[in-house]
Structure 1
């Protein structure tokens, strides 16, 4: 198709990643893009089909990176770092995460990163949304739970994506990223791959272990989504309301400490009702553009790590005093456009969504009643309700295959809560062991300071040994 070819030529010109042979050929490793930090990382590209139902048709190039094993004499293979999102770049993850990996892991693996299809330097897609639409991707209902404006925006985004994003958009999905992963495996000339998958990447990792079980070596799923195909991705999004409730007590304890310059209340028990009262007050009487959803958005975005707590507290204190909320850095609009297109395409192409507005309005009102902290956002209507492309067949995670999966999970994860990870653990059966750490936040290995959790994961990557059963790490 001429239009697709034009898009791919333009994207290749921007990529500045060395060319490579086809997925079955030898890779030509070279310098990475100039905006990468040179810590021994090298880059190449891997050619994959646009449409796996038509493998002889158009192709795209995936940007791939690596840091070779530090000790080739003890090298075991490759460790792919599967990024979250959907829509997150992974090309620079080897140098960003590689420095944090224990030496015994770096000794044994080539650390591999990649930009998923449609992302970053792998033929990036964009819907060309308006600045207002791309900078307000979280769908907050109105103060009374009404979703009329959300419905209009969801339809506008779906129509704009269908009109502007090009043919690749309909072939961006979790299943296709899984197939891309196997093409990368072939290009690396590996019979099996190990991988560390994070957040949304755990869907890619669990699906790969289901569709290509014989091609897996050591599988690490870090902060796992709930992957029941009968409720995907609606349940994943709805679970965030549970996750915020799980995580909020950590913030409340921090925000009520006497020595905290951003203290918001005298006791942990007073923080939650204060937050709800301030959000309701801003719903009734916004301070300019500072409304209840501005505060709610600060809570959602500040829960993933303790470093986000000051932003939440400063926003609450601004609401109380009538001041301005703190400014939060956001990525460039081009990055937001790319993330919006890929995230929307992935969740909409993966599985069919309800098309009835009434279904979403009902779910929003129910969610608001059960989880007032998120005010129905987690159940709101996405562009998928109006998506013009047919959805693919979701993957049902299977217990059939080798017992080589280690899951690691925070007890109070706001984005991928423990309840969802436990359900995926049950679906994987004896193939998986779950390590739960007594921390709050999103992302565990080398991110939460859990001595027990990090030790168990490192031992698994180095030796292949897992605990005899599910484990709870108290520290």
Structure 2
């Protein structure tokens, strides 16, 4: 999987943004060999074949170019690298998931502006001690949690299936479902949700529909059935129509933007704090929130996972199904958990793969996973150090980390130009986080850093910035960033007092010097409009048990999230695999874990107890 960063330089170091766009690697086991150049494309970044150039550059025609051969002779240590304890604070990411065929490192993306004079733009509220970015405020409204509603109340229309824009798969058909902007006002303004369908391979054994969407928040889901289908077992494919969908405001589903000309690298706004930078970071965050209110203020109060779950139920009703099955990884797993709370009677067979715990969305989640990012960096650096004769980045984990962070720091001052591509510090941060997310990417990422450090053209089989969907008109340039931030800011409370951020920064930066300065820093959510929804929390006591899967050394969504979700949905089971990866089903290829999921999807029977693979 991949992340995207934006990084600006400061006297004290690097300030950056980051967010992953993720998908799963191809089935297999073990590390990528040092000289192996794995193939793949970026799920959601392009629906059809994507040609990847070198240095992270991507074109959208033809097939992926064959990688350039490159010998990885030792590149030497970075002279003058800072000491281990003084090394560069790195960047936070929002690890989310798409499945991308045989991609070794995947892309999640999050992310057009439809303004409406009928709905005034809500104002963003400032934290205590910071000037209010605008004069008006939206009061908090807390609607009750959903009853089992009559699906006829959803303003759907007859589905008209046709070609899928930007998807090079004639078997995949697409349609739109009309839903209320505000589900508490079903006769009010409406938006459209794009869905796709890949029919079950054996109609005589068809069980129903299996919905899926991208992670993020903000990863597209419409193309997913095409990339997911080859990874599923024949027994599962025989039984389900695969239904993909873009959650509200993403790409094909009434998309929004915040008026920015480009994506934040990573599709996620974050800045790494440096000593004394909090006021400047707060000002930048406030300005971004103000821009979002101006561009998409009509939509922001309704960009929540709870509303996305209500849209899911409208999809169910439009398809004529009494119940739905579901497969969702990372953020999409959280979406499935929220649906289970709101619509327990509509849940059939739900697989939540490395879900984010909705009770921790999103500020606690970022803080809680900071130790995992530190540990993931150490694991990557140690693995690379053991192969110093191949990569030449250092013979110890400390030396590797110093070499990599030194290169990022150098790019913060001026981009590192290699083979005509100017590598920014944010793009290099993207490479690093790709390495720490999945043990099978260690070799590819180490090779890329070694090449760049030595002035050689690297092989990078994914875009280092989110890409607009090919062949889908009308999507704003910053759709991924806008939707990612809208959901993150809308799903739960964020501190609005600068003193809270000061305390967190002091604590987390001291304990976790690599990622604490980013994960604990202020974001635009501190200035976001009040949301017209109440966050949905566990437990789900009336829901049938679901199957939760996870990797024990997951960096993006640490296994504690999966354990909490499994415990919060009564009767659920947890299947774990001892691996350093994210959202392992189905592409990680573990026979034990995949077998448990396949058995549940084909029979509906959960294992009698939790399973450790």
TM-score normalised according to structure 2 size: 0.67
Give the aligned partner of residue 464 of structure 2. 329
Q: How does 1:30-69 map to 2 (within 5 A)?
A: 30-33=162-165, 35-69=166-200
- 1:242-321 alignment runs, 5 A limit: 242-258=371-387, 261-266=390-395, 270-272=396-398, 274-276=400-402, 279=405, 288-289=414-415, 296-306=429-439, 308-310=441-443, 312-314=445-447, 317=450
Residues 299 and 312 in structure 1, CA contact (< 8 A), matched pair in contact too: yes
Q: 1:350 — aligned with what?
A: 491
Q: Take 1:285 and 1:185, find their aligned partners in 2: how far apart are those partners?
A: 48
Cα separation, partners in 2 of 1:276 and 1:374, compared to 1, 3 Å: farther
Cα displacement (A) at 1:190: 0.7
Distance 2:350 2:450 in 1: 44
Aligned residue number for residue 533 of structure 2: 392
Match of 1:378 among 511, 519, 532: 519
Q: Write the distance in 2 (CA, Å) between the matches of 1:99 and 1:218.
A: 20
Aligned to 2:24: none
1:18-46 CA-partner distances (Å, limit 9, x unpaired) = xxxx755542222222x212251111111
Query: CA separation of 1:289/1:361 partners in 2, compared to 1, >3 Å: closer, same or farther?
Result: farther
Q: Which moved more, 1:118-127 or 1:387-396?
A: 387-396
What's the CA shift for 1:416? 0.4
Using the TM superposition, give the Cα deviation of residue 465 of structure 1 relative to its aligned residue in structure 2, in angstroms.
2.0
Structure 2 Cα separation of the partners of residues 125 and 262 of structure 1: 43
Q: Shift of the alpha carbon at 1:115?
A: 1.0
**Larger helix percent:** 1
1:50-449 paired onto structure 2 within 5 Å: 50-131=181-262, 137-144=268-275, 146-228=277-359, 231-258=360-387, 261-266=390-395, 270-272=396-398, 274-276=400-402, 279=405, 288-289=414-415, 296-306=429-439, 308-310=441-443, 312-314=445-447, 317=450, 329-332=464-467, 337-390=478-531, 392-428=533-569, 430-449=570-589
Q: Could you list the per-position Cα deviations for residues 81-100 of structure 1 after superposition, in whole angstroms to 9, with x for gaps in the alignment?
A: 13211111100111111122
2:160 maps to which of 24, 28, 35: 28
> CA separation of 1:149/1:314 partners in 2, compared to 1, >3 Å: closer, same or farther?
farther
Q: Which structure is richer in relative contact order (CA contacts within 8 A, separation 6 or more)?
A: 2
What SS is found at the alignment partner of 1:469? coil
What SS class does the counterpart of residue 190 from structure 1 fall into?
Answer: coil
CA RMSD in angstroms comes to 3.1
Equivalent positions of 1:448-463 (< 5 A) are: 448-463=588-603
The answer as to whether partners of 2:157 and 2:178 remain within 8 angstroms in 1 is: no
Structure 2 segments unaligned to the other structure (5+ residues): 1-113, 120-153, 417-423, 469-474
For residues 330 and 134 of structure 1, the distance between their equivalents in structure 2, rounded to whole angstroms, comes to: 5
Of residues 291-300 and 355-364 in structure 1, the stretch that sits farther from structure 2 once superposed is 291-300
Instruction: For residue 6 of structure 1, report the CA deviation from its aligned partner.
Output: 10
Contact 1:407–1:434 (Cα < 8 Å) also in 2:
yes
Give the Cα–Cα distance (whole angstroms) in 1 for the partners of residues 169 and 156 of structure 2: 28
Size of the aligned set, in residue pairs, is 451
Higher deviation after alignment, 257-266 or 316-325? 316-325
Gaps of 5+ in 1: 8-21
Matched residues in 1 for 2:275 and 2:499: separation? 16
Q: CA deviation at 1:355?
A: 0.7
2: CA distance, partners of 1:226 / 1:61: 27
Inter-partner Cα distance in structure 1 for 2:511 and 2:427: 21
Q: Which moved more, 1:156-165 or 1:372-381?
A: 372-381
Residue aligned with 2:390, SS: coil
Q: Whole-Å Cα distance in 2 between the matches of residues 73 and 132 of structure 1?
A: 46
- Structure 1 CA distance, aligned partners of 2:578 and 2:376? 11
The farther-off stretch of 43-52 and 398-407 is 398-407
